[in-house]
Amino acid sequence: MRFIDSGALRTYYLDEEGKEFVQSFGIEGWWLNDLYSYLSQSPATQFIQATEPSVIFQIHRDRLEELFKEVPAMERFFRIKMQSAYQAAQQRNLQVKIESAEERYADFRQRYPQLEQRFPQYMIASYLGLTPEHLSYIRRKALK
């Protein structure tokens, strides 16, 4: 588990041809993790990259499990965090399938107004399942 004290990070994975797919973003005060790997205790499938100078705090799974036993409120805190992460992943998965690109971009801007200035357009486009050119077109159209 990683907590971002300062800076900005992204998680992404690569396909067989080396194409990047952004899975999530994180900034100050957010938690960022490859949740599947953490929960399944399997090797990570995602990469985590700082996109600007960052300070993160990390706790190993074994130590976190000990902390859960020592401080039950921590277990509840992380359970709620994981439930929220699961809900967000499910919603994002559904959005990509049923919403138009314009709707996804509008939702992204509404939910995360602080992210658009912190991450390059090509990363945001990847997160939204778009090409950078398509996102540029949507942005120009929205300004009119």
Convert the pLDDT of each residue in 61-114 to its tens digit.
Answer: 999 999 999 999 999 999 998 898 889 888 888 888 899 999 999 999 999 999
Reading phi first (left if > 0) and then psi (alpha if -120 to 50, else beta), residue 49 is in: beta
Task: Confirm whether 132 is domain-assigned.
Answer: no
Convert the pLDDT of each residue in 47-66 to its tens digit.
Answer: 999 999 999 999 999 999 99
d(CA 24, CA 8): 11
Convert the pLDDT of each residue in 120-131 to its tens digit.
Answer: 999 999 999 999
Task: Confirm whether 1 is domain-assigned.
Answer: yes
Supply the pTM of this predicted model.
0.87
Task: Confirm whether 117 is domain-assigned.
Answer: no
Residue range of the domain that includes 13: 1-58
Task: Confirm whether 48 is domain-assigned.
Answer: yes
Amino acid at the residue 59:
I
Task: Confirm whether 118 is domain-assigned.
Answer: no
Task: Confirm whether 14 is domain-assigned.
Answer: yes
What Å distances lie between residue 69 and 33, 64, 73, 82, 141, CA to CA?
A: 21, 9, 9, 17, 53
